[in-house]
Structure 1
């Protein structure tokens, strides 16, 4: 186990605006991959846990319920999420691609940053293909694509 630090002086959760302190046991660190460096999360533990519990399920629900094809293409561009992510709450080091582990000060334990319900490998690819069926190819018009190019309906 790596040595974990203490929250930086004056650290405040970007969601709840609560102070993040060792005394409150709401401090979380995250480990980015591939650097494997630990950094302070900008969210308190309850927010991090809520993201872990809901981020994957929210993604699938948005894909299935959105009526905006541009949003759908953006959502499906990277595929179903596997690990917790938020560019503000977990600011990654340059070169890192995702959060791989979390550490909670409340129990002094490291845990995977994998989202509840998330699938990997072949199972993820299968889900991704299923979700792509929500994209409407017919009837796209000029400007529908995120890059502004006319759709190729051939």
Structure 2
């Protein structure tokens, strides 16, 4: 495995485009981003252009909190709460993880050649995250399904 201090970042492949905006990702536009995932620590090209990556960094945590607080579907709420509040940027298409990797940990932006954390704006860790997760779990209705909540079979306990 290459030492991060000596790793040379790449450049976009011919015809590469953002899966979100469909804009070309090019060296000239300096909108190329790479991500590193943990624990393999391998660098790979992001499938989103810089402006989409920055938008996700700035809003993904806030959007998660808003979704938990406003959804009227208990099945959706259970799915959102299953892994707890997000800490790092994630998207299965934009940042596909290697088997065994758990999350994106570092980003590299071609525009300035700098590596930066993949931690979401506003995200919390440790005891603060646990307290937030507990608070958000209070939105769950413990006595079973709400009307129209059809994600589990009756009697399966929702596990």
TM-score (norm 2): 0.90
- Structure 1: distance between partners of 2:99 and 2:128: 29
CA distances 1:42-100 after superposition (whole Å, capped 9, x unpaired): 00000000000000000000100110000000000000000000000001111111000
2:61 to 44, 56, 61: 56
The Cα offsets for residues 1-29 of structure 1, whole Å up to 9 and x where unpaired, read as 33101112211000111110111000000
Task: Mark the runs of 5 or more structure 1 residues left unpaired by the alignment.
Answer: none
Match of 1:4 in 2: 9
C-alpha contact 2:104 2:118 (8 A) present in aligned 1: yes
Picking from 77, 81, 84, the partner of 1:76 is 81
Deviant stretches of 4+, over 4 Å: 143-147
Structure 1 vs Structure 2 CA RMSD: 1.8
